[in-house]
């Protein structure tokens, strides 16, 4: 419990630091949001009045303190572009991106773990060389290019979904998941290849250790030793890698969402940056940062349960 409390406290501290850096960075970016919002109608008087209305003329730390308090109470401010609460604006986008990321992660785990174990047990030979070549090819192709190919194949040729017509999650959940599946597949393919390669390497490394040879020499089944003892030790670096993967999925989804015309956080982030809609951009950046830090924290907690040697001070 002490270890978990320390990790959660570190997570919160990291989020405060990230939010402060993001707030300062957006404040220093050239370009006045008030001027951008007024466009051709911008005059010194109107710009000054709008800055007063938006609170942009107040000290930076005062504005940040109010924003931080609002963030923990669910108030992310008001969008400059859409003139509505930021959370109301991005909440549906967050849900879409979470479903996309979750579906991608499920595909990675469901496919890579069995393939990695099979590859580790059947190493050597022509078939293994072919698997290695395919693995390298999958890792080399970027997700956006895979997404273009999948969109062309399953949308243009096979007509399995209509590109650009993303069904509502609330009105057609099954149709939305079907649409998201192809984007998730594009994101998952290179990560599946990387996870298979890492699991294969870690399992083979564990299988060469003395405790495995001793267990097998005592008559234990090789497969039983693999699943009862080896896999537990081999999963520690893999879990850490999967946590990094979960974090990187969100970043990669920004591009893939553009390819599949998915109305997620990626499209909202790009449009908000173009419009200098800093409250919306900052909220999205902090949410993405929270996702990254949370993935690392969860990985540490899981590894701590898998391998008690990783516990700080030996405490549970």
pLDDT mean over 193-209: 84
Tell which wins on pLDDT, 12 or 107.
107
Distance CA 248, CA 49 (A): 41
The pLDDT confidence band at residue 110, using thresholds 50, 70 and 90, is very high
Look up residue 20 and give its two tokens: 């402060």
Q: Three-state DSSP class for 78?
A: strand
pLDDT(103) > 90:
yes
Once rounded to an integer, what is the mean pLDDT over residues 28-52? Answer: 72
The pTM of this model reads 0.79
Residue 212: is its pLDDT beyond 50? yes
Q: What is the pLDDT, as a whole number, of residue 314?
A: 45
CB 276 within 8 Å of CB 39: no
pLDDT band for position 315 (cuts 50, 70, 90): very low
In this predicted model, which residue has the larger pLDDT, 270 or 310? 270
| Residue 240, Cβ density class (10 Å: 0-12 exposed, 13-18 middle, ≥19 buried) | middle
**Which is nearest to 133 in space by CA: 119, 114, 147, 113?**
119
Higher pLDDT: 223 or 62? It is 62
pLDDT one-digit tens code per residue, 227-260: 777 777 777 788 878 888 887 888 788 888 888 9
Contact 34, 50 (CB under 8 A): yes
Burial class (CB in 10 A: 0-12, 13-18, 19+), 282: buried
SS3 244: helix
- Average per-residue pLDDT in the chain? 81
pLDDT of 306 reads 67
Predicted local distance difference test score (pLDDT) of residue 152:
92
């Amino acid at each position: 419990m002490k270890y978990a409390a320390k990790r959660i406290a570190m997570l919160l501290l990291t989020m405060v630091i990230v939010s402060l850096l993001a707030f300062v960075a957006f404040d220093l970016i050239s370009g006045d949001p008030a001027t951008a919002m007024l466009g051709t109608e911008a005059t010194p008087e109107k710009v000054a009045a709008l800055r007063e209305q938006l609170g942009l003329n107040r000290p930076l730390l005062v504005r940040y303190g109010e924003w931080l308090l609002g963030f923990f109470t669910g108030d992310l401010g008001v969008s400059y572009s859409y003139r509505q609460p930021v959370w109301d604006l991005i909440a549906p986008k967050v849900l879409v991106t979470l479903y996309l990321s979750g579906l991608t992660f499920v595909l990675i785990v469901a496919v890579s773990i069995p393939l990695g174990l099979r590859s580790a047990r059947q190493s050597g030979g022509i078939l293994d060389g072919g698997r290695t070549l395919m693995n390298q090819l999958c890792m080399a192709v970027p997700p956006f290019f895979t997404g273009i190919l999948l969109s062309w194949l399953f949308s243009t040729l096979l007509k399995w979904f209509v590109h650009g017509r993303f069904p509502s999650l609330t009105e057609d959940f099954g149709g939305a998941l079907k649409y998201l599946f192809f984007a998730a597949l594009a994101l998952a393919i290179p990560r599946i290849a990387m996870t298979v390669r890492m699991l294969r390497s870690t399992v083979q490394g564990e299988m060469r250790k003395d405790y495995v040879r001793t267990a097998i020499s005592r008559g234990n089944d090789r497969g039983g030793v693999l699943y009862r003892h080896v896999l537990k030790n081999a999963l520690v670096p893999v879990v850490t890698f999967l946590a990094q993967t979960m974090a990187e999925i969100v970043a990669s989804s920004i591009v893939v969402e553009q390819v599949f015309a998915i109305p997620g956080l990626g499209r909202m982030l790009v449009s908000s940056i173009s419009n200098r809609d800093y409250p919306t951009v900052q909220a999205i950046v902090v949410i993405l940062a929270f996702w990254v830090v949370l993935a690392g924290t969860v990985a540490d907690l899981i590894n701590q349960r898998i391998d008690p040697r990783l516990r700080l001070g030996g405490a549970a």
